[in-house]
Structure 1
Amino acid sequence: MNRFSALYDRLILPHPLMVLAVLAIFLGLAALRFDQFRLDASAESLVLENDRSLEQYRQVNRRFTTSDDFLVVTYTPRDELFTEQGLSDLRRLRDELQALEAVGSTNSILNVPLLHSPSLTLDTVDSEIKTLDADEVAPETARDALLSNPLYPNLLISEDAQTTAIQVNLPTPERYFELLRERNRLRDLVAAGDASDEQHLELEQARDAFIRYTETLGKERDITINRVRDILDEHQDKAEIHLGGVPMVVSDMIRFIQNDLSTFGLGVLVFLLVTLAIIFRQWRWVLVPLLCCGFTVWLMIGFLGWAQWPVTVISSNFVALLLIMTLSLTIHLIVRYREFQHDDPGAAPGETLRRTVYAMVKPCFYMAITTIVAFGSLTFSGIRPVIDFGWMMTLGLAVAFLITFVVFPALLALLPPPLDARVTSDRIPFTDAFARFTERFGRVVLTGSLVIAVLCAIGISRLTVENSFVDYFKSSTEIHQGMVTIDNRLGGTTPLDVVITDDLPPEASGVEQDPFASSCDPFVDDCGETEEYRDTWYTFQKMNRLEKVHDYLDSLPETGKVLSIDTTLAILAQINQGEPLDALELAFVPAAVPDDLKDILLTPYISEEHDQARFSIRILETQPDLRRQALLERIHTHLTTELGFSDDQVLFTGMTVMYNNMLQSLFDSQIKTIGVVLLAILSMFLVLFRSFKLALVGIAPNIIAAGSVLGLMGWLGIPLDMMTITVAAITVGIAVDDTIHYIHRFRTEIAKDGDYLAAMHRCHRSIGQAMFYTSLTIISGFSILVLSNFIPTIYFGVFTGFAMLMALVGALTLLPRLLVLTKPFGPDSGSGDRQGSH
């Protein structure tokens, strides 16, 4: 403390201009990299730490020549679709989209092969297939051909033929994958500890190159999506049109985050300033918190730019949280300054400022450290973006503390606030009402807290992690409407791939190893698997097993469109006058399918090079009973027990799997996070207060506050998601602030006369005001987040406000009641035995 005093007396208080000049240099350096500050809503930002699902997802896409890099345009014409005019309007829209530079190709009912010719057979398939683009096909004939084809209904056309889709392919350049592979290669070397200093440097360069190229690619995608939207707007008079697809979802999520960072960040700031002006009614007490908050956020954004550390969906709220924490620190300083003004109105402003800083630095330091511990616990979550969020807030809180205790005294040294009537008034503040209530109804406070704790426990037991991605967006948004249309009319939204690997030896299949020793003809009948025919998928037995897998997946209520080699065989059977292919015809399927159709009918489903078969499934996100984990477990159990595949033959991949992995880790992560937070804070309290009894008293309101948020979510049926996972840890961090300030002030007040009740009233009239003003300001500021289009942001604003309310009530009722009851500072020399009788 003496060193701190000497530092302030020598450097900060006498030289405020020099302090602000040095700060201006740091602000200038931070501003140099504002252009490097970026947002990331890619698949990598949503996966677990060390989760291999993303690499498996990319690997499967490469092997089966598939990709989710396409936009889906849903098109429901005002009039009939299958008329000359209806198809002409659709063609005009398709041509405009295909003319865009970034569009590689488009798929629609206009260019896909129609299987309707009477003379079409397996022998003539190469010459008899027609398309609406290339051939004269009557609209009604085309309609019947499309609806009778196993591939197109619920994919390119709805079952009622009223809605169709245009798939706009946005191919990812090979350069992206080259940079990705190089970065991953070097990262694996470094992780294994086998990298040289030169390779460490190469990793940094490869990471920077990948980031720059990804940003460039993202900007180009945004431009393309905006141009697509412009084109769609021109055709809205002829049809109801919606846009969907993974690139559009990523783009819109980034746009929502940017809007929330700018629009709502500014809105929160305005609300905070208005509230400060109403509370303190002095422009200095508005300007100083504004500058402290602004400088903190400025420096952190600059640092993230210098470090090229992207902000994700989860960490996008770090700006708002830094505003909370910095504002909390400055309000406590303001209230304490005004107390000293009230107690000694004749003191020089410099002396009042000095006393304020010295009185508040210890509790604010304790507050910052314990809040850092709370956010630091997020690094144990196992979820990459949550870990990053924890580190960002840890660093941001350190910056907030330094800025507050450097900028606040420097500004007040230059702009000393005058006395006003509200400061010199002896009016008892509103917060003393909490003290009177606690004094009179002590038992009610304890009983009520116990009831709340029980309700919280019940609510927490009802928490779930299953939520629909479509529910992240308001129903009025295009992204929500597009998802609903695709789900209801075009076979589902979120992709899931089931990959079967053929790696069983012949004896494991339970069939004869040498069918030629019998009278069975393998080219005509199902003779099982022989060594000669194991190297191909196109055998009767293998296709029969894959057909059973397809039928099972298609029968599930959660699945929409299911595509596999069975779909292709159904098409070929249709061509074959409705007769299923026999064993000999199956063997010649790769040769029978024309080369220009193999990328549609064969390679997306069979990789003979890797002995794998793929089932492409679209999950219905709008299903009210969707339970992803239960669905995956049910599929896995059926494939391994009913259909005889081994565990290592079955692989799940796709966006559904990565998203589910993250969701399923949320509950364990939340329990782990809260447990770590509470243990760490209890340890901190033991160090700070040097009393186990006082540490337990201090932790009680924090448990109630955190539990109340999670319990409320459980009772309301709001599932844990990417952002609500952080609310409980944030709640603990906020509640800790109030707890530390109150206990620190209580220790000071009880030392005056040893009267617990009198000390409680004095605390409520002093530090209680700061706690009340902080909570009121933040609750009012964050209420603006309910206007966001991103539902998790709305939840964040609502639950942050609720957390502040519960933390405040707990710190002003339960905490003082426990202090008076347990008397951790020694025996009561006053009238403490009178309280709590009601």
Structure 2
Amino acid sequence: MNKRIAQFLVERHKLVLLVFVMITAVLGYQALNFKIDASADTLLTKGNKLYLQTQVMNERFSPQEFLLIAYKPKNHDVISERTFDDIGSLSKQLSQIKRVDSVRSILNVPLLSLADGGLSADNATQKWTIEQNDFPADELKQLFKDHPIYEDLVINQPQTATALQVLFKPNTKLKKIDSEITALQEQALNGELSEQDQRQLEQLQAEAEPLARELTRQRNSEIAHIRELIKPFEADAELYLGGAHVLGYQLINIIKSDLTIFGGAIAAMICLVLFVVFGKIRWVAIPVVCCVSSVVCTVGLFGLLGLKATVISSNFIALQLILTLAIVVHLIVQYREYSNANPDWEQKQLIIETFARKVQPCFYAGITTSIGFASLVFTDIQPVISFGWMMIIAMALSIAVSLLLFPSILALLKRETAGKKSRWASKLLTANANWIQKHPRWPVVASLVVLMFGGSGLFFLSVENSFINYFRDSTKVHQELSFIDQEFGGSTPLQLIYTLPEQSGDTDLEFTARDIQTMQLMQTALENHKGVGDTLSVVNFTELAQQINDGKPLTEYELNAVYWSMDERLKNDLLGSYFNADERQVRISTRIQDTTEGLNRADLLAGIRADMEKLEIPEDRYLLTDLFVLYQNILDKLFRSQILALGIVYVLLLLAFWVLFRSFKIALIGITPNVLTTVAVLGFMGWMAIPLDLMTITIASIAMGIAVDDTIHYIHRYREELAEGDGAHALERSHLSVGCALLYTTTIITLGFLLLVFSDFVPSVQFGLLTSLAMVIALLTDLTLLPVLLKRFIKSA
């Protein structure tokens, strides 16, 4: 059957190539629709309860989308005419951006402590500002010192920098659709979604998708424009951008940059090493064509299916290059082996025999590698699950493209004259084969040492996630995120929603003294935790009222009287996002400072919950939501799901080996290098304090996918040698045949991917290092431990 397929491919090679050109062209056009979405939302599991609770609370309190611009003067004071002129000029330019609703700055925030009438003053929002009055600098410095609202919002604590909040208008149509989607998803969680509701949900999601895509494009354009606007001010001040969408913009830019720069560098390195190893242009051109075609087809198919690359899946192209290259190198080595051994064979026969011999192990390797990547599907984390499916699709296309294109392209070329094997490879593999046959115990001992090293390292694996640490300290984005995180109250939002007790009697007060006291205790407990930054709530409003009242606290009746008599715009400004009268809920909003040394996010949340218990706040009266909780929820699942997923995949791989080779003994031997490689890589991460996060969770699956590919090819060749009755030399012959392909593949890919250590994106650096480490460990185990076990326990095919 295999030979008939190969014969068809050789005899109809021009037709096959024409079909491939057409398919690649069509999918290449579809690749234009492929998107990289690096926004924070792409990392969230959108069907879970926490996500929907966050969506509901965001809708209920309607916090406005904003972007932060920090301004730190170089040679003048923050509170000075020079700063005010710069802030005023920049604010005016920012206000002209179409989607900008307003720009909040030190110039236009209401200074109610100076207003006649305080909180109840008419038009306090417009009148009592720096823009409208000439306040003395000393008076302003004193006013902003320890201000309950403005400190860490428009001016930092040491008063060395100020910040502009650029507030954006919402897309009303998208907001309305998202609100309807959230309501339906809430019903789905409660099991109340009918078929009609499900159809409506799918229709709404389809309507929202292009609107969200356009909004993302618009945001990126706005950020790029804002960067241009702030450039003229950088001569006299340091300016820093912050906010969730700025982070997404930076991630997209750096990922695209890495794909361009390092993608090109890796491709050049791979081509160079291919030429050094094989010594002929054809063995560079054919792998390149196969790799390019498989990647273009895959990207086009993802574009057609609407699949997006997130931060997690941004390395899928690099992984597909590994998978495709490995298959093609195995085919090249087999072709050259037949060419050297059979000088009388014609090109057609060489291609057919090569295809017939390698199609089965390549197919087996594809199945087992896909099972390796299937570990991601069992993680219960939607973005990671999507990456798993993407890699399974990519693996299928790599096999199809390589096995169909390689013989078709080769059929266009003349037969290769007998080529010499690489001397360094032959000597190294021969020496290795002789050594493990003379000292079979040493590979076993070394493997046990590696297993102990890796296993002990597992205990040091930590589960953490910090976007700031995704970038090198020397990069502009790291400096921006760190500055705003440290000087303006943190990066990752966390909100505590508290439902006020029902009012007793006929009182119509919005807040009772007990309500205020409870909220003050809750906020104080929250602020006392390490890593908690700027915190705002109704409590800050009461502190401001006390400050205006000469330091005397207001009674509950006075507070409510002030609330009712406040200017409506001022009321919305100060309280709109922190109190919902209809639901009788208050929102305590804070930002976690990600640069806090030794910050343990799981302990922080546990501590907050413990504080609520001490304050006797019932669990059904408070809710922790927003990005910090959502990310931590994902991280909490990571370790458990990774162990569970690896356990499931080990079992599936064992069954796959058993079915493919029809021997449980071979299955146990075959699974050993895979277990050793994954444990060694995860253990290395533990010892080197590389945390298990949304990025590094994929490394174990990558290590398994690489190891299982090499293992399949070696076992298949070893059994072939046994079937030919050459048991005495099966190990040496397997080493000098398939061993060459393993050595070449590992050398090519390791040298190429080590270039990623020069990236400014830390996950790319870790990906390059850990992938290279996985390649080397897989090679060593497959050329030492695996042949020793096979020779010891497998005596016949």
TM-score by length of 2: 0.96
Q: CA deviation at 1:123?
A: 5.3
Counterpart residue number, 2:224: 226
Q: What is the one-letter code of the residue matched to 1:761?
A: E
Counterpart residue number, 2:796: 825
Q: CA deviation at 1:168?
A: 1.1
Structure 2 matches for 1:82-121, cutoff 5 A? 82-117=79-114, 119-121=116-118
Residue 65 of structure 2 contacts residue 168 of structure 2 at CA under 8 Å; is this kept in 1? no
Matched, 1:789 2:763: no
Counterpart residue number, 2:316: 318
Counterpart residue number, 1:419: 417
**Bigger shift: residues 443-452 or 135-144:** 135-144
Q: CA deviation at 1:85?
A: 2.3
Q: Separation in 1 of the partners of 2:441 and 2:505? A: 81
- Helix, strand or coil: the match of 1:431? helix
Q: Separation in 2 of the partners of 1:488 and 1:544? A: 29
Counterpart residue number, 1:596: 569
Identity among equivalent positions (%) equals 34
Counterpart residue number, 1:512: none
Q: What is the one-letter code of the residue matched to 1:801?
A: S
Matched, 1:613 2:613: no
1:156 aligned to 149, 154, 168, which one? 154
Residue 183 of structure 1 contacts residue 210 of structure 1 at CA under 8 Å; is this kept in 2? no
Counterpart residue number, 1:684: 656
Counterpart residue number, 2:735: 764
Q: What is the one-letter code of the residue matched to 1:781?
A: G
2:493 aligned to 492, 495, 520, which one? 495
**Bigger shift: residues 655-664 or 782-791:** 782-791
Q: CA deviation at 1:546?
A: 0.7
Residue 3 of structure 2 contacts residue 355 of structure 2 at CA under 8 Å; is this kept in 1? no
Q: What is the one-letter code of the residue matched to 2:93?
A: E
Q: Separation in 2 of the partners of 1:685 and 1:604? A: 58
Counterpart residue number, 2:267: 269
Change (3 A) 1:67 1:671: farther
Change (3 A) 1:281 1:223: same
Q: Separation in 2 of the partners of 1:103 and 1:262? A: 33
1:24 aligned to 16, 21, 24, which one? 21
Residue 103 of structure 2 contacts residue 164 of structure 2 at CA under 8 Å; is this kept in 1? yes
Q: CA deviation at 1:12?
A: 1.3
1:541 aligned to 514, 522, 534, which one? 514
Q: What is the one-letter code of the residue matched to 2:604?
A: L
State the aligned residue count: 795
Counterpart residue number, 2:780: 809
Residue 244 of structure 1 contacts residue 483 of structure 1 at CA under 8 Å; is this kept in 2? yes
Q: CA deviation at 1:750?
A: 2.2
Q: Separation in 1 of the partners of 2:782 and 2:147? A: 67
Q: What is the one-letter code of the residue matched to 1:531?
A: G
Q: CA deviation at 1:425?
A: 8.9
1:473 aligned to 471, 474, 489, which one? 471
Residue 48 of structure 1 contacts residue 661 of structure 1 at CA under 8 Å; is this kept in 2? no
Structure 2 matches for 1:333-372, cutoff 5 A? 333-372=331-370
Matched, 1:755 2:753: no
Q: Separation in 2 of the partners of 1:589 and 1:189? A: 40
Residue 68 of structure 2 contacts residue 163 of structure 2 at CA under 8 Å; is this kept in 1? no
Matched, 1:296 2:294: yes
Larger Rg: 1
Q: Separation in 1 of the partners of 2:85 and 2:200? A: 54
Q: Separation in 2 of the partners of 1:306 and 1:625? A: 44
Q: CA deviation at 1:651?
A: 0.6
Deviations along 1:326-371, whole A, 9 cap, x unmatched?
A: 0000000000000001111221111011110000011111000001
- Helix, strand or coil: the match of 1:104? strand
- Helix, strand or coil: the match of 1:484? helix
Residue 290 of structure 2 contacts residue 401 of structure 2 at CA under 8 Å; is this kept in 1? yes
Q: CA deviation at 1:266?
A: 2.5
Change (3 A) 1:181 1:426: closer
Structure 2 matches for 1:130-149, cutoff 5 A? 130-149=128-147
Deviations along 1:30-76, whole A, 9 cap, x unmatched?
A: 12322211112234311136323333223222222313442333433
- Helix, strand or coil: the match of 1:132? coil
- Helix, strand or coil: the match of 2:99? coil
Q: Separation in 2 of the partners of 1:310 and 1:150? A: 43
Q: Separation in 2 of the partners of 1:586 and 1:424? A: 85
Change (3 A) 1:40 1:702: same
Matched, 1:566 2:539: yes
Change (3 A) 1:92 1:308: same
Matched, 1:634 2:612: no
Q: Separation in 2 of the partners of 1:774 and 1:246? A: 40
Q: Separation in 1 of the partners of 2:83 and 2:200? A: 56
Q: What is the one-letter code of the residue matched to 2:412?
A: L
Deviations along 1:255-279, whole A, 9 cap, x unmatched?
A: 2222233332232222211111111
Q: Separation in 2 of the partners of 1:465 and 1:780? A: 30
Q: Separation in 1 of the partners of 2:425 and 2:253? A: 49
Give the unaligned 5+ runs of structure 2: none
Q: CA deviation at 1:716?
A: 0.5
Change (3 A) 1:795 1:148: closer
Counterpart residue number, 2:387: 389
Q: RMSD of the alignment, in Å?
A: 2.3
- Helix, strand or coil: the match of 1:310? coil
Give the unaligned 5+ runs of structure 1: 506-528, 827-838
Change (3 A) 1:121 1:20: closer
Q: Separation in 1 of the partners of 2:425 and 2:746? A: 21
Matched, 1:530 2:504: yes
Change (3 A) 1:122 1:698: closer
Residue 119 of structure 2 contacts residue 562 of structure 2 at CA under 8 Å; is this kept in 1? no
Q: Separation in 2 of the partners of 1:185 and 1:158? A: 39
Q: Separation in 1 of the partners of 2:455 and 2:784? A: 21
**Bigger shift: residues 424-433 or 448-457:** 424-433
Deviations along 1:422-473, whole A, 9 cap, x unmatched?
A: 1599994422222122123322211111111111111011101123221011
**Bigger shift: residues 464-473 or 67-76:** 67-76
Change (3 A) 1:219 1:694: same
Residue 466 of structure 1 contacts residue 626 of structure 1 at CA under 8 Å; is this kept in 2? no
**Bigger shift: residues 670-679 or 62-71:** 62-71
Q: Separation in 2 of the partners of 1:200 and 1:108? A: 45
Q: What is the one-letter code of the residue matched to 1:532?
A: D
Residue 705 of structure 1 contacts residue 803 of structure 1 at CA under 8 Å; is this kept in 2? yes
Q: Separation in 1 of the partners of 2:252 and 2:405? A: 33
Q: Separation in 2 of the partners of 1:54 and 1:78? A: 45
Structure 2 matches for 1:111-260, cutoff 5 A? 111-117=108-114, 119-121=116-118, 124=121, 130-183=128-181, 205-260=203-258
Deviations along 1:92-115, whole A, 9 cap, x unmatched?
A: 222222222222211111110113
Counterpart residue number, 1:513: none
Residue 516 of structure 2 contacts residue 539 of structure 2 at CA under 8 Å; is this kept in 1? yes
Residue 153 of structure 2 contacts residue 163 of structure 2 at CA under 8 Å; is this kept in 1? yes
Q: Separation in 2 of the partners of 1:694 and 1:160? A: 68
Matched, 1:576 2:549: yes
Counterpart residue number, 1:33: 30
Matched, 1:53 2:80: no
Q: What is the one-letter code of the residue matched to 2:253?
A: R
Residue 68 of structure 1 contacts residue 246 of structure 1 at CA under 8 Å; is this kept in 2? no
Deviations along 1:646-691, whole A, 9 cap, x unmatched?
A: 1111111111111111111111121122112211111101111111
Change (3 A) 1:759 1:318: same
Change (3 A) 1:313 1:673: same
Q: Separation in 2 of the partners of 1:122 and 1:272? A: 69
Q: CA deviation at 1:149?
A: 2.1
Change (3 A) 1:416 1:211: farther
Residue 184 of structure 2 contacts residue 193 of structure 2 at CA under 8 Å; is this kept in 1? no
**Bigger shift: residues 399-408 or 214-223:** 214-223
Counterpart residue number, 2:596: 623
Q: Separation in 2 of the partners of 1:199 and 1:561? A: 41
Residue 735 of structure 1 contacts residue 804 of structure 1 at CA under 8 Å; is this kept in 2? yes
